Amino acid sequence: MKSILEEVQADLRSAKKRVEVYEDWEKELGSVTRDLADEPEYQLPEPPAMMSAKKYKTTFVEPLISKLKELIRKLLSRIFEQRSYYESRLAQAESYQKRYRQMEQNYNAVKDEVERLKPYAQEDRFLRRVYGDVKITQMVNQKLQQKKDHARLYRNSGYDRDGR
């Protein structure tokens, strides 16, 4: 039970870390947006006088487009990485939830069994105080042996269950 609690706490720490990563991503995305709007490297300058459109395209437009394409590739790569990570963590969380429910059911079953056996344990303690541990152990073993002998006799008696 303790190890599972530690696992859940580790998952909680991991979830907090992911939230912090997403917050960092949000800040970075805001930074990229500002850079795209303000940085001169992402702005097209006015064409100089007497520059042909072809020369302007090769000198200014194509390098800008290649920078933008690289930026988009990086962003998409990070998005897909985060999505994959998120999906794996989601599957792990679902697995933990299922395991937790199973353990909870097992715990409740054991708890019910313990409650059912408490009166017998009290009675056993009382009898062991009155008769002593050795005598009670002998009596229990004798009764178990009688049950085994009875079962063996029943099997070996040739009694047919169909009544024939």
DSSP 162: T
Domain boundary assignment for the chain: 2-118
Q: What is the pTM of this model?
A: 0.46
Q: What is the pLDDT of residues 3-35, one digit of tens each?
A: 776 777 777 777 777 777 777 777 877 777 777
- pLDDT < 50: residue spans in the chain: 164
Amino acid 162: pLDDT:
53
Amino acid 1: pLDDT:
60
Amino acid 41: pLDDT:
77
3-state secondary structure of 157: coil
Nearest CA-CA partner of 88 in 24, 18, 16, 4 = 18
Contact 14, 89 (CB under 8 A): yes
